[in-house]
Amino acid sequence: MTPNPRLKRRIIFLDIDGVLHPPKAIAGAKPPLTPKQILLGWPDTFKHLHLLANLLNGHGDISVVVSSSWRLFLSDTELHELLKPIENWYEGSIGKPGLGREEAIREFISLNKISDFIILDDVPAFFKDTWTNLIICPAEEGISNDYVHSRIKAWIGSTP
């Protein structure tokens, strides 16, 4: 794996289920599915994506990198198709299907020499270490939760 030269200096590591929609929004889905099948068959998926797009608007120094398990069964191109509202910020996934989420994020950070990032996830058990920049989302609310939304907004508005 080589560093991604397109990455901006600030990164959002993005989980999908429990962050962009409640897990029940995708209940019953079995990979492999195309982006079109997902959007047509499970119309409540990505219902909070517009919130992230609104927060990112005007902040060209941020890249979004998918850390979700969705990276294991969809290509970066397919993820891009699903994340159209944030396509100007989307830079792919953390890759490394053989690694757990935390380990893959850690490797991505090291490889790309990233120092300013947040992690949006709904499963604290995926993270054994203490991450001060991990924002745990209540799965049913995701980033629509007021506290989570305000933490993302504060990070986006901060300058290192």
Torsion-angle region of 145 (φ positive above 0: left; ψ -120 to 50: alpha; else: beta): beta
Provide the pLDDT for residue 2: 82
**Between 51 and 3, residue with greater pLDDT:** 51
Torsion-angle region of 29 (φ positive above 0: left; ψ -120 to 50: alpha; else: beta): beta
| Residues 56/72, Cβ–Cβ less than 8 Å | no
pLDDT at 159 over 80: no
pLDDT in tens, 108-137: 999 999 999 999 999 999 999 999 999 999
**Among positive and negative, which fits the CA dihedral 63, 117, 13, 85?**
negative
pLDDT at 97 over 90: no
pLDDT in tens, 4-51: 888 999 999 999 999 999 999 999 999 999 999 999 999 999 999 999
Q: Which H or E element spans position 118? A: strand 116-121
Provide the pLDDT for residue 154: 97
pLDDT at 160 over 70: no
Across the range 43-64, mean pLDDT stands at 97
